[in-house]
Each structure stands twice: as structure tokens, then as C-alpha cells.
């Protein structure tokens, strides 16, 4: 079990930390780890915003916030099953910036950078400061033309990188262009910014997310209840108060949220802040992330524990992005088993939230 939120006296940090030397200087890692972490940083980008740094309890060697953002030598231990493109975006990318995996929706990858770099990132081979920051004007025009030409595209998911690193002016241009496409009804924005850089959620940024006559949804990526501090909660309230519904997605991560108490506290905190838990992702097979992945049976046991103790409002769907680009599927746990047939009608055994087993339809009572 991981420690729940607790008050802490810490000098406010003002700079984004982008190198192991900066992490040592901020007393987040001991100097003797510098050389090992330099090797990791040469391979995968590092960035901790002041808001993230201030959430870290540096006296806790197992701090769940540090574990998500401070590099770890274990990242250099790749596993044979891991892949550079773990969810198969490339196989479904007809033009630059677009991933068209499901018929009625596309991803529009606007940027290749984030305010922070998560150690378990599923796009860690394609995001980072060494890449081109954002789609060029010509590539964006092509991507919009692709969407315009396909009336089956009902929803456009802005992702990246983190689209909320863009200026409100640039975001507004993109969202307005989508708003002018008759068949696009929904703009969905996937972001970690309200947690890791809440100061970016200004009134102007929120206005930039809205297009007349269309619905915008914001999906917050957050993994631990301590991430929802006062500033993050205020940023989310600014979005929701403007009329934009919020959902959440979390990644199940060993040493961060792989216990029922932490997951329950996270989901409850989200709902208390008017954010509906949407997805709990099983860790993707991104390179060098094996030390943070749970097994699927461990994940199912955790989700089963949530089912037994939390309101339905607090239940995300536990999903796996199938490697190779085959999309997301829910991965349980399952409660229903088929056991026999009663005449033409199948009969099932169903488990209740206390672990009791029942037949459905029930055996007819004797008269």
C-alpha cells in the first residue's frame, strides 16, 4: 500500500527539471545515481514541471509520483515482447498526424512533446524534445482534409504528445477548423496538463477547446490520488464550469497505484471533482517499462476489489490495447460463465460482488 495524501513542507520549485544533474541539484536523487541516470536520459526524455516536483516526497524512496517521472536504470532492461510502437499506431496512419483505427473516430496527433515525460509512456519512442515539436501547417492541412473527406468520422481525438502544450491561439485554430466539418460532432482532448502544469488552464485555453455546435470532452491522464491537489482541482473545475465534461484515464502501474486503497482513493477523488473514471489501462509493452507493468491477473484482482467496494460512478473499464494495432478490449474480470443448457435456453453461473455464485435463470422453484 502506498501512502495517502499528507501535508508536507517543501520549498516551491520554479524550474522544469530536464536532466539528471537538475534532479540531483533538486535533491530528488542522490549524486551517486547520476552516472546511471545519465545513461537513461540519453535514451528517453526527462522532464518534471515545478507542479510535479512539488508533489514528490523526496524522503520516500518509493514515492509513487517520483516513480512516474524520475528516470530509473531499469528502463534500460528491455524485454523481448516490448516494441517501439506498442499499440500499433503506425499500421493505421494513412497521413501524417492521423491514426484511423476505428471507423467512426481518428486520433489527430498535433504535437510530439509533453510538459512531463512519464517513465511508462506508450509513445516514448516518438515523443520528446529531440522530435519536431508539432505538425507542420501543410501536414495539419492534409490531416484536416483527410477528416473532411470521410463522413463516417464522428469524433476527433486530439492527442500527441500533449495537445495542451499548444498556445490557445493555435488550439483554437485547430478546434475551430474541426468545428466547421459538418460530420465531426465531438472533439476529445487527451491531456495530463491540468495535473502537471495546471497554470496553463487559463480561461483563454478553455475557450480554445470549444467549437460552436460541437461537444468537447477532456480526458485527464492521472494515476495517483496525490496528483489531484488544489491547483489541479482548480484547473479541472475551470474546464468543467465552462461546460466541458471531463473523463479520466489511468495506467495501472506497479509501485504507483497497484493496490486497492490507492486505486479507490484515486477514483473517488476523480468523481468528487466531477470527473468520470473512463479507462484503467493495462501497461503497454513500451520499451523499458517492464518494471512498472503488472500482470493481467493482478489487474483483474484489483478491479474486482474496486467492484466490491466502490460506487458504479467510480468504476473505469480495465482495458488492454492489443499489440499490433488491433484496438482496445476490456479484459475483465468476468463474472458470468456458461454452464449448461436448460432446453433451448442457455444457463449461466454468475458471481456477485461478495463472491457468491448464482444460476441464471434460476432453477424454477418447486410448487
Q: Are 49 and 16 in contact (CB under 8 A)?
A: yes
Instruction: Determine if 192 is a binding residue for ligand SF4 (CB under 6 A).
Output: yes
Instruction: Determine if 282 is a binding residue for ligand SF4 (CB under 6 A).
Output: no
Q: Which of 169, 189, 181 is nearest to 212 (CA)?
A: 181
Q: What is the DSSP string of 163-176?
A: GGGS-HHHHHHHHH
Q: Which is nearer to ligand SF4, 123 or 226 (CB)?
A: 123
Instruction: Print the binding letters for residues 136-175 with ligand SF4: x by CB under 6 A, - otherwise.
Output: -------------------------xx-------------
Instruction: Determine if 117 is a binding residue for ligand SF4 (CB under 6 A).
Output: yes
Q: Which is nearer to ligand SF4, 184 or 253 (CB)?
A: 253
CB of 312 to ligand SF4, least distance (A): 27
Please give the backbone phi and psi of residue 113, each rounded to the nearest 5 degrees, phi first.
-130, 160
Restricted to residues 284-343, the positions that interact with ligand SF4 (CB under 6 A) are none
CB of 279 to ligand SF4, least distance (A): 13
Q: Which of 254, 252, 190 is nearest to 220 (CA)?
A: 190
Going by the DSSP 8-state scheme, the letter that residue 55 receives in this structure is H
Instruction: Determine if 114 is a binding residue for ligand SF4 (CB under 6 A).
Output: yes
Is residue 118 part of the annotated active site? The answer reads yes
Selected binder of ligand SF4 within 123, 226, 233, 282 (CB under 6 A): 123
CA distance 87 to 90: 9
Instruction: Determine if 55 is a binding residue for ligand SF4 (CB under 6 A).
Output: no
The neighbour count for residue 40, using CB atoms within 10 Å, is: 20
Q: In what order do the strands lie in the sheet with 357-360?
A: 336-342, 345-351, 357-360
Is residue 238 part of the annotated active site? The answer reads no
How many residues sit close enough to ligand SF4 to count as binding (CB under 6 A)?
10
Cell of 343: 432446453
Going by the DSSP 8-state scheme, the letter that residue 92 receives in this structure is G
Catalytic residue among 18, 43, 60, 102: 102
Catalytic residue among 284, 293, 314, 318: 284
Going by the DSSP 8-state scheme, the letter that residue 94 receives in this structure is S
Restricted to residues 196-215, the positions that interact with ligand SF4 (CB under 6 A) are none
Is residue 328 part of the annotated active site? The answer reads yes
Going by the DSSP 8-state scheme, the letter that residue 95 receives in this structure is S
Instruction: List interacting residues with ligand SF4 (CB under 6 A).
Output: 114, 117-118, 121, 123, 127, 161-162, 192, 221
Q: What is the set of active-site residues?
A: 101-102, 105, 114, 118, 121, 123, 284, 321, 328
Amino acid at each position: 500500500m502506498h501512502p495517502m495524501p499528507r501535508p508536507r513542507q517543501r520549498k516551491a520549485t520554479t524550474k522544469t527539471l530536464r536532466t539528471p544533474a537538475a534532479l540531483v541539484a533538486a535533491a530528488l536523487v542522490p549524486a551517486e545515481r547520476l552516472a546511471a541516470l545519465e545513461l537513461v536520459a540519453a535514451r528517453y526524455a526527462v522532464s518534471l514541471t515545478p507542479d510535479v516536483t512539488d508533489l514528490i516526497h523526496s524522503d520516500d524512496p518509493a514515492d509513487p509520483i517520483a516513480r512516474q517521472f524520475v528516470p530509473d536504470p531499469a528502463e534500460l532492461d528491455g524485454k523481448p515482447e516490448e516494441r517501439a510502437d506498442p499499440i500499433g499506431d503506425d499500421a493505421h496512419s494513412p497521413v501524417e498526424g492521423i491514426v484511423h483505427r476505428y471507423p467512426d473516430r481518428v486520433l489527430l496527433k498535433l504535437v510530439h512533446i509533453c510538459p512531463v515525460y512519464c517513465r511508462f509512456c506508450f509513445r516514448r519512442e516518438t515523443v520528446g524534445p529531440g522530435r519536431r515539436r508539432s505538425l507542420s501547417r501543410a501536414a495539419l492541412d492534409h490531416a484536416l482534409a483527410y477528416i473532411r473527406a470521410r463522413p463516417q468520422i464522428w469524433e476527433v481525438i486530439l492527442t500527441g504528445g500533449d495537445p495542451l502544450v499548444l498556445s490557445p491561439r493555435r488550439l483554437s485554430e485547430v478546434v475551430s477548423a474541426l468545428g466547421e466539418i459538418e460530420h465531426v460532432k465531438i472533439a476529445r482532448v487527451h491531456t495530463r496538463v491540468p495535473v502537471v502544469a495546471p497554470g496553463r488552464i487559463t480561461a483563454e485555453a478553455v475557450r480554445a477547446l470549444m467549437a460552436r455546435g460541437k461537444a468537447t470532452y477532456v480526458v485527464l491522464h492521472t494515476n495517483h490520488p496525490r496528483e489531484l491537489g488544489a491547483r489541479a482541482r482548480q484547473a479541472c473545475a475551470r474546464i468543467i464550469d465552462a461546460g466541458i465534461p471531463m473523463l479520466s484515464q489511468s495506467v495501472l502501474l506497479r509501485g504507483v497505484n497497484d493496490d486497492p486503497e490507492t486505486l479507490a482513493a484515486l477514483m473517488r477523488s476523480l468523481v468528487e471533482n466531477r470527473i468520470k473514471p473512463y479507462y484503467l489501462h493495462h501497461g503497454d509493452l513500451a520499451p523499458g517499462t517492464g518494471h512498472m507493468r503488472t500482470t493481467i491477473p493482478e489487474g483483474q484482482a484489483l478491479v474486482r476489489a474496486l467492484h466490491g467496494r466502490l460506487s458504479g460512478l467510480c468504476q473505469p473499464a480495465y482495458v488492454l490495447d492489443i499489440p499490433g494495432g488491433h484496438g482496445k478490449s476490456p479484459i475483465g474480470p468476468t463474472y458470468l460463465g456458461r454452464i449448461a443448457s436448460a432446453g433451448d435456453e442457455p444457463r449461466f453461473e454468475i458471481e456477485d460482488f461478495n463472491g457468491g455464485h448464482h444460476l441464471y435463470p434460476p432453477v424454477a422453484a418447486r410448487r
